[in-house]
Amino acid sequence: KNQVEQSPQSLIILEGKNCTLQCNYTVSPFSNLRWYKQDTGRGPVSLTIMTFSENTKSNGRYTATLDADTKQSSLHITASQLSDSASYICVVSVGMEYGNKLVFGAGTILRVKS
């Protein structure tokens, strides 16, 4: 069964601090892994996308890593800001003959406090 699990469920950090969110997946066949940021009441916005051969990708203060052997990914946020408060969703694409099917993690709710 294709599954994506994220940890922690929620996280509170002080502004300016770093944090790391985790994602473990059991998906086959793997196509790519994405991290999305979803603000409350808004649709998800893509942060990074990584294929099997990529093990790290950055987007500003966001850095995602992928270990395809252990089927783990992490999203590291550097020097957090209040605007980083959101839900972060790990999404893995299952390769299909025609397009991909997305498997969503439950998300990690991040709250950045001043």
Residues found near another protein in the complex (CB under 8 A): 36, 41-46, 89, 99-100, 102, 104-107, 109
| Nearest residue (CB) to another protein, 16 versus 52 | 52
Smallest gap from Cβ 65 to another protein, in A, equals 21
Handedness of CA 24, 36, 60, 58 (dihedral sign): positive
Identify whether the C-beta of residue 9 lies closer than 8 Å to the C-beta of residue 106: yes
Residue whose entry in the numeric block shows the structure tokens 């469920």:
9
Smallest gap from Cβ 69 to another protein, in A, equals 26
Residue 30 half-sphere exposure toward CB, CA atoms < 13 A:
24
Smallest gap from Cβ 99 to another protein, in A, equals 5
| Nearest residue (CB) to another protein, 11 versus 109 | 109
| Nearest residue (CB) to another protein, 88 versus 112 | 88
Nearest to 7 by CA among 74, 61, 93, 55: 74
